[in-house]
Amino acid sequence: MAKARSKLGDKKVRKDHFAERAKGTGFRARSVFKLEEIDLAVGLFQRGDRVLDLGCAPGSWLQYARTKIGDGGRLVGIDRVAIAGVPGARLLVGDVFTVVPADLVGDLGAFDVVLSDMAPDTTGIRHVDQARSEALFERALELAVATLAPGGRFVGKLFQGPDMKRLVELARTRFATVRTIKPASSRQISIEQYVTAAGFKGREIIHTPAGTT
């Protein structure tokens, strides 16, 4: 574990071609290519979409979403820290665990897409980091259920761990189709996966599989 952590802290390792490519194309972070790959795989965005980005710092996912939804689309982002403005985006500073869904929606009525690239402050202790990631993913899914329009789409980052199967099954109770993707631009040593979901079933009470809550 110590060896893996030392590699994660090595700037030479972190400075890869995806980071250089992001810088060269005007995006704020290499994570933009993860969203691009997901979008190409599942057709995430449509022109005019209303998009919510949970944990939006530093803003590269908002930047990419803007290129896909056009000037007629609407963007909302929230993070614990303030970020530089993204054209046409309403940016909030706050905690996703305490934010009121109505404050995210504002005058939009609902969102067509909810995104979450949220990751915990890592400790290097695998089970602790997994548990924190699972809590963030479950909250992102809760906010998606509270704010999506019927038929809406969701993407959330989740570290592979003991609760992953339950959370994927929970997503399946709310969406018509669910799949997991590990983008090529994710670092090889990363345990992150992205759960993508489409066809939100609405906010009616839905039976959950045995063993889920």
pLDDT tens digits for 45-59? 999 999 999 999 999
Q: Do the domain assignments include residue 98? A: yes
Q: Is the pLDDT score of 71 beyond 70?
A: yes
Cα atoms found within 13 Å of the Cα of residue 202, Cβ hemisphere only: 3
34 catalytically annotated:
no
Only one residue has tokens 């803007």, namely 66
> If you average pLDDT over residues 65-93, what whole number do you get?
95
Q: Is the pLDDT score of 126 beyond 70?
A: yes
Q: Do the domain assignments include residue 208? A: no
Q: State the pTM of this model.
A: 0.84
| pLDDT band (50, 70, 90) for residue 30 | confident
Cα–Cα distance measured from residue 35 to residue 171, given in angstroms and rounded to the nearest whole number:
19
Residue 145 near residue 185 (C-beta atoms within 8 A): no
Run of H or E residues at 53: strand 50-54
Domain of 146 in residue numbering reads as 2-200
Q: Do the domain assignments include residue 191? A: yes
Question: Which of 15, 23, 157, 165 is flagged as catalytic?
Answer: 157
Q: Do the domain assignments include residue 119? A: yes
pLDDT tens digits for 169-192? 999 999 999 999 998 877 666 789
Average pLDDT across the chain, whole number: 86
Q: Do the domain assignments include residue 213? A: no
Angle 53-59-62 from CA coordinates, rounded to 5°: 50
Give the pLDDT score at 79: 97
Q: Do the domain assignments include residue 27? A: yes
Q: Do the domain assignments include residue 122? A: yes
Alpha carbon 87 to its chain centroid, in Å, reads: 20
Query: CATH number for the domain including 52?
Result: 3.40.50.150
Total number of domains in the chain? 1
Q: Do the domain assignments include residue 207? A: no
Cα–Cα distance measured from residue 59 to residue 84, given in angstroms and rounded to the nearest whole number:
8
Rg (CA), the chain: 17
> If you average pLDDT over residues 90-114, what whole number do you get?
97
Residue 90 near residue 80 (C-beta atoms within 8 A): no
Q: Is the pLDDT score of 121 beyond 90?
A: no
Give the pLDDT score at 141: 98
